[in-house]
Amino acid sequence: METGILTRIGYALVSLFVITNYGLLLIGSMARISAKVQGRVGQPVWQPYIDIVKSTAKRNSIGHGIMFYLGPVFRLAGGVGTYMFIPAVYGSVLFRNFSDSGDLLLVMYFIFFGQLGMALGASEGGHPYSAIGVSRGLSQMTAFEVPFALSVIAVAIQYRTLDITAIVAAQQGGFWNWTVATNPLAVVAALIAFLGMSMHNPFSIVIAPQEIPIGPPTEYQSNLLGMLQTNRAIFNGAKLVLYMNLYFGGATDIVTMVVKTFLIYFINVFVGQAFPRFRVDQSIRFFLGVPTLIGIASVIIAAI
């Protein structure tokens, strides 16, 4: 029994290593694509690796409250915890992680945990505009979680389970078994919520580029910033795998997983380049409007 546990932990660490590197390459690739759309050369694909090495090599000499240092730890724990209870590749022993030890509700709690941890950390950052960033982040999070939660409820009703592996198993057999084909309204609501969850344009209201000097890149430096940059890759990968499993039939091999998650993430780049950023009030009203109605409709469809 002990050998089995150690083997599973080893497989999970390998899986985490793979998704971390995939997430870093994905971030670098999307930044490069965005630069080409804007007519710029852009950063190299491997720039996220350079940023993490540079940040981790430095030390922070500024003292803050305990929660300031725990914020990045909570954020990293949220990203790792989210991924550890999702099967990255259906039917794979190496990439199943601990998906049989937790369900969809546990994964959603981990998603919230990382975001709330960062809010608590920023509150002790000492920056005069920290409260602005926290209020923006929590307000938008509350708004986009409504259509996302409704979409998840619709999926749970449709498949009569909260087990992510069972949801993926129910979608095997071809495209017409995927949730995107059987309940497209749930997928639309979830993808709109995903734009807010990823905080790309038009929902990049927390850091608010070119408006206020706020957010983790300003609040945190050195190895704490490196930890946040690493978690960004893990959390992005975990969310993409979760969406792939819930709505797009999952993946039975690593190549399929890469292709599907790349296409899902590309939606962020496409929308972000096509639309300018919303104001805070516009973002909240948007998520509580049409996307919420679509989510309610998806629940009704799943129920009948």
- Closest by CA position to 24, among listed 270, 275, 236, 282: 236
Would you list the domain boundaries of the chain? 2-303
Report the b/e string of 146-160 with b at 16+ CB within 10 A.
Answer: bbbbbbbbbbbbbbe
Q: pLDDT tens across 30-61, in order?
A: 888 878 877 787 788 888 888 888 877 777 66
Q: pLDDT tens across 53-91, in order?
A: 887 777 766 667 777 778 788 888 888 888 999 998 888
Q: pLDDT tens across 17-33, in order?
A: 999 998 888 888 888 88
CA dist 68 and 271 (Å) reads: 33
The answer on pLDDT for 15 being more than 70 is yes
At a CB cut-off of 8 Å and minimum separation 6, what does 33 contact? 269
- Closest by CA position to 146, among listed 282, 286, 269: 286
CA dist 4 and 220 (Å) reads: 39
CA dihedral 219, 73, 76, 156 (to 10 degrees): -110
Please give the average per-residue pLDDT across 273-296, as a whole number: 86
The answer on pLDDT for 12 being more than 80 is yes
Q: pLDDT tens across 137-153, in order?
A: 788 888 888 999 999 99
